[in-house]
Amino acid sequence: MTSPSRLTIRCARRGDSAALARLHIASWRAAYRGLLPQRYLDELSHTAWERTWSNRLASSEIHVIVAEEADIIGFVSFGASRDRDAAPRTGEIYSIYLQPGQWRKGIGTQLHAEAVELLTGSEFVEATLWVLSTNISAREFYHRRGWSHDGCTKTNSRGGTEIIQVRYRKRLADAHEKKPLASGST
């Protein structure tokens, strides 16, 4: 799908690992400034993130869609829910990130819509996602798109600081036709 601004939405390819790592780090450093320890953000390793992305793109369990102009400027990753308490046919949006200069231009909305459409078409009936409890901007983004905090929280450690994540849940439209998830390793 292409918009008039020459934005292309496509499945990620294995060769996208380096670009996804750069984008992920840049987005984390901007979005989580003040929410995660600055030293932790400063020490994010491109090599480690590139390896992580290479593994994700090789997996048939993780699906990644990118937004691209001249370069990749955003992505969404999704698949089956990883939560232990997930009911059958529950999907999950694992992450949506954009280059900081691309925020609030509708690109995240397009990526979100694509992920929800593919999850719905793959016969998931609901989906979840996790977000930092203090990331008000992200929480508002999801709330405006019909997601609701379901009361679940979890605590993780990042850079020596405990962070709290909250889970959001969304009922998906009934799947009228089965549409296979895009492969993350195309």
Q: Which of 23-32, 87-96, 124-133, 171-180 has the lowest mean pLDDT?
A: 171-180
The arithmetic mean of pLDDT across residues 2-6, rounded, is 57
Reported as a pLDDT band with limits 50, 70 and 90, residue 174 is low
Q: Is 66 inside a domain boundary?
A: yes
18-74 pLDDT, tens digit per residue, is: 999 999 999 999 999 999 999 999 999 999 999 999 999 999 999 999 999 999 999
Residue 182 identity (one-letter amino acid): A
* Cβ burial, residue 72 (10 Å; 0-12/13-18/19+): buried
121: which 2 tokens? 């078409």
Q: Is 153 inside a domain boundary?
A: no
The arithmetic mean of pLDDT across residues 110-136, rounded, is 96
Average pLDDT of the chain? 90
Q: Is 42 inside a domain boundary?
A: yes
* CATH number of the domain where residue 105 is located: 3.40.630.30
Residues whose CB falls within 8 Å of the CB of residue 4, separated by 6 or more in sequence, listed in order: none
Q: How many CB atoms lie within 10 A of CB 15?
A: 9
Domain extent for 27: 8-125
- Comparing CA positions, the residue from 44, 76, 47, 48 lying closest to residue 63 is 76
